[in-house]
Amino acid sequence: MPVKDKNGVKVWQVRDRNAQLIRWAMWMAAGIIFYVSWMKISDQTTWFFVFDAPRIAADIGGRAMPPKWSYITQLGKPIWDTLNIATLGTVFALMMAVPIAFLAARNTTPSKLFIRPIALLIIVSTRSINSLIWALLLVSIIGPGIFAGMVAISIRSIGFCAKLLYEAIEEIDENQVEAITATGATRWQIMVYGIVPQILPAFAGIAVFRWDINIRESTVLGLVGAGGIGLQLQASLNTLAWPQVSLILTVILVAVVIGEFVSAKVRGAII
Amino acid sequence: MSVTLESRVGTPWKKQPFIKNSTLRWGLLIIAVVYFTVALGSMDVNWSRVYLGLERGRRFVVAFLNPDFTSRATDIKEGMIESVIMAVTSTVVGIALSIPIALGAARNISPLPIYLVCRFIISISRALNEIIVAILFVAIFGFGPLAGFLTLSFATIGFLAKLLAEEIEDMNKVQAEAVKATGASWLQWINFGVQPQIMPRLIGLSIYRLDINFRESAVLGLVGAGGIGATLNTAFDRYEFDTVAAILLMIIVVVMALEYLSGIIRARVQ
């Protein structure tokens, strides 16, 4: 037990001297890294604007404050588009994620040496890139519109869904699979009767969870021209129509809260 | 089981349906089919435009095979450093802000008024998308990494404080009580009774959040909040797909490295 000798009285300490020194050095290094990083940000900041920020914020808030409620009649179609982008994107993502998850899971992959790394690479690369970047890319390839947004959402979701799903597949109870195998079932029958029933709850949970996230993400895809309510937001921001902006933000907030509520209810019902 | 064995012998086994109630099952199926036809119908795809775009898509794939790191090297380097700096500082500040809020949002150690305030902060931070917050912060604080740093710090609160508060609520009460019984002050109680129990989770979540913050910092540049996103956006606008590919590959590599690192650290902590 580490103790400190203080005027002949032994006092208990959490750590001995060396451990303490190492910790101090690590905290010191972290502090220096933070300070250097902060100075870089500080150098690129016009501090005058920052000190002026409360006034600007109050100004924008004042302009935005009574939201332009009459504008809501024009938001029906965009919010419907946003919902479609999120839902269809999730469905298509799941269609692609399921085979990839089976190829990536250690216990179901046909080849650990060749196919599994490829599946993992697909998972990592689709997951690392934000849906907004995918949308940017797809808008420049297939043109602006809802379709680009939907494809962007579904590509972004593949990695997320496939990763969670293949972890669920790896955690299944092998005894059930073995029991089905013992009846003389074929590969596909093992899959359908041995593995799928075990991962179905996880699958449903992942689907709803991702749908909730996709609703949030699809609200901003319009900023790069990929359809949905973000288009209206971008247009209102560009024309400095702050009352419209505040209304759109309110609508987005309500949509997100409803989405979270629905997903929580469905997940509660499944699990 | 009301069905006897005799009555079942000889009849083939049928798979149980996923939803037992048949009206609910068919109802949900019909709703789903109707929704999909309507939704797909409302999505007018300009196929000739898509066909034209395939050529650009092919160019992009080719660009991905030989990315161009050199011709915009300085822009990429500066953008990357800025993204990393934003991710690091915002994670540090985000954690520092999250810990008190998490303590306040854990029902078992905080009084009701504080609990409600902290939960409110968390839900606001979770409900607002990073990009939307960044747009507002850019409008208020001006262009540059400061707006991105503030956005990410704010977004970190919603994530970290929520999960940490849940961890505190799940903690072992006995340990905390034992520390309290020694006559510890509130701060000592938190420090020796609560903190050791949540530390592994806190470290794991922090590393994970650093990873998320880096990924998010890559898009904040699209709305003028600094980082590699600005470089990426410019490259897209100029159709320099080889530079785009280089940037995307670098993002993927950094994210993979962070994920690997977080795996090692989490394995060591737990």
Tell whether B61 is covered by a domain. no
Helix (H) or strand (E) holding A6: strand A3-6
Considering only CB atoms, which chain B residues are within 8 Å of A45? 141-142, 144-146
∠ CA B21-B23-B29, nearest 5°, is 105
User: From the CB of residue B183, how many other CB atoms can be counted at a distance below 10 Å?
Assistant: 8
Q: Does A92 touch chain B (CB under 8 A)?
A: no
Two tokens, residue A145: 């519109």
What pLDDT score does B3 carry?
65
* pLDDT of B18: 67
Rounded distance between C-alpha atoms, residue A67 and residue A120, angstroms: 47
Three-state helix/strand/coil letters over chain B: CCCCHHHHCCCCCCCCCCCCCHHHHHHHHHHHHHHHHHHHHHCCCCHHHHHHHHHHHHHHHHHHHCCCCCCCHHHHHHHHHHHHHHHHHHHHHHHHHHHHHHHHHCCCCCCHHHHHHHHHHHHHHHHCCHHHHHHHHHHHHCCCHHHHHHHHHHHHHHHHHHHHHHHHHCCCHHHHHHHHHCCCCHHHHHHHHHHHHHHHHHHHHHHHHHHHHHHHHHHHHHHCCCCHHHHHHHHHHCCCHHHHHHHHHHHHHHHHHHHHHHHHHHHHHC
Q: Is the Cα torsion angle B241, B243, B246, B248 positive or negative in sign?
A: negative
Euclidean distance between CA atoms A158 and A212, whole angstroms = 15
Two tokens at B133? 């917050």
Model confidence at B2, pLDDT cuts 50, 70, 90, reads low
Instruction: List A residues 222-241 in contact with B (Cβ-Cβ < 8 A).
Output: 223-224, 233, 237
pLDDT in tens, B22-33: 788 888 888 888
Mean pLDDT computed over every residue of chain B: 83
Question: How many domains does chain B contain in total?
Answer: 1
Kindly list the domain boundaries of chain A, sorted by start residue.
Answer: 1-43, 77-270
Q: Residue B124: pLDDT above 60? A: yes
Is B10 a member of any domain? no
State the residue range of the domain holding B150. 75-269
pLDDT tens for B169-216 read 888 888 888 888 888 888 888 888 888 888 888 888 888 888 888 888
pLDDT at A265: 83
Tell me if B111 is assigned to some domain: yes
ipTM over 0.85 threshold: no
Between CA B204 and CA B200 the distance in angstroms is 6
Which residues on chain B are in Cβ contact (under 8 Å) with A252?
129, 132
Does residue B60 belong to any structural domain of this protein? no
Q: What's the farthest any 2 CA atoms get from each other in chain B?
A: 80
Cβ of B82 under 8 Å from any chain A Cβ?
yes
Q: Which residues of chain A have pLDDT under 50?
A: none
Query: What pLDDT, in 10s, does the model give residues A145-196?
Result: 888 888 889 998 998 889 888 888 888 888 888 888 898 888 888 888 888 8
- Do residues B223 and A104 lie in contact, with contact meaning Cβ atoms separated by under 8 Å? no
CA A167 to chain centre: 17
Q: Does A169 touch chain B (CB under 8 A)?
A: no
- The partner residue sitting opposite A84, judged by closest CB among B42, B131, B248, is B42
Nearest to B92 among A34, A124, A256 (CB): A34
Q: Tell me, yes or no, if A53 comes closer than 8 A to chain B by beta carbon.
A: yes
Residue B188 lies in a domain: yes
Which residues in chain A touch residue B82, judged by CB atoms under 8 angstroms apart? 40, 44
**Residue B102 belongs to a domain with what CATH number?**
1.10.3720.10
CA distance A133 to B63: 16
Homologous superfamily of A77-270: MetI-like (1.10.3720.10)
Residue B94's pLDDT band (cuts 50, 70, 90): very high
Residue corresponding to tokens 């020796």: B192
Distance CA A261, CA A270 (A): 14
Percent with pLDDT over 90 in chain B: 5
